[in-house]
Amino acid sequence: MIIVTGGAGFVGSNIVKALNRRGEKEILVVDDLTDGTKFANLADLSIADYIDKDAFIGGIVRGQDPARRVRAILHQGACTDTTEWDGRLMMRENFEYSKVLLHYCVERHVPFIYASSASVYGAGPVFAEAPENERPLNVYGYSKLLFDQFVRRAIQEADSQIVGLRYFNVYGPREAHKGGMASVAWHFSRQVEQDGEARLFEGSDGYAAGEQQRDFVYVDDVAAVNLHFMDHPGQSGIYNVGTGASQTFNDVARAVIARHGRGEIRYIPFPEHLAGHYQSYTQADVGALRQAGYREAFRTVEEGVRAYLDELGQG
């Protein structure tokens, strides 16, 4: 059995889809369906079982195995709202929960592959997997960094696989439930559909309007990296998952407009509440990922946005 936590969420459900494409159906999805709209992310997928997150973690704490034979845990479940400032919530969901799963896997020699985040790097300017580059700008980023630091110590003692994947700006199908936390590609597409315009922030941190740069990575590529490490259980470490090439928000908007065949860009004031807490530039250093044997190409924004909107039937 392969366990995917957060399996009804954005990245988690795309990992389940990627597993299904390989013929894998012995999949246990763990999630919290308080937001019942997330069911849509699972409706077209094949899984063996579903367990509520609280029941799952409670059972593990009591020493109960969630399945007869666990092949791997792909841990995608987390509080991913970067605007959330409830530190107790963040530590419970992103740190304590993850530690319990890590201990479970290490004790039973089960491969453990989990989602970290590029938010650990804060404003950069260097986005390579080293402590001197890690300065998060919000408590979400700190919760992810704290677990990465915990993992760095655990890897030295463990004799089973532990892999942390620092996702950069992921976009793609099955993210609609995220609302305000959905990707700019999703927001721009909705805006163009409804209003004929994509709304981008004016300049910030020395960048011209819409010229803030991020490393935008398509979700199918993220799922492929997860499966690569599942296929190579001898490989452990913390790795960036991005394209290695930043592109501007203007690039994303133009790609969306090109796919729709209509629309224009309008710039809006930069939100005051994001000042000092916003990554105006990210670009993954993927050297460690390549050294770990991952050779597949990543989609550009233009390629990814087209694939995304084609799957949504938009444009």
Q: Do residue 125 and residue 229 come from a single domain? A: yes
Q: Do residue 46 and residue 156 come from a single domain? A: yes
CA distance 209 to 267: 7
- pLDDT recorded at residue 127: 97
CA distance 91 to 75: 16
For 204-256, what is each residue's pLDDT tens digit? Answer: 888 999 999 999 999 999 999 999 999 999 999 999 999 999 999 999 999 99
Catalytic-residue membership of 53: no
Domain annotation covers residue 225: yes
Q: What is the pTM of this model?
A: 0.94
Q: Do residue 127 and residue 268 come from a single domain? A: no
Q: Which residues of 141-163 are buried (b: 16+ CB within 10 A; e: fewer)?
A: bbbbbbbbeebeebbeebebbbb
Q: Do residue 180 and residue 108 come from a single domain? A: no
Domain annotation covers residue 160: yes
Query: Under a CB-based contact definition with an 8 Å cutoff, are residues 75 and 131 in contact?
Result: no
Q: Do residue 166 and residue 275 come from a single domain? A: no
Of the residues 97, 104, 121, 140, which is catalytic? 140
Q: Do residue 31 and residue 82 come from a single domain? A: yes
Domain range for 223:
2-170+217-242
Catalytic-residue membership of 121: no
Of the residues 50, 99, 178, 267, which is catalytic? 178
For 265-313, what is each residue's pLDDT tens digit? Answer: 999 998 887 777 678 899 999 999 999 999 999 999 999 999 999 998 7
Q: Do residue 72 and residue 47 come from a single domain? A: yes
Q: Residue 241 is inside which H or E element, if any?
A: strand 237-241
Q: Do residue 58 and residue 194 come from a single domain? A: no
Tell me the backbone φ, ψ of residue 239, rounded to 5 degrees.
Answer: -135, 145
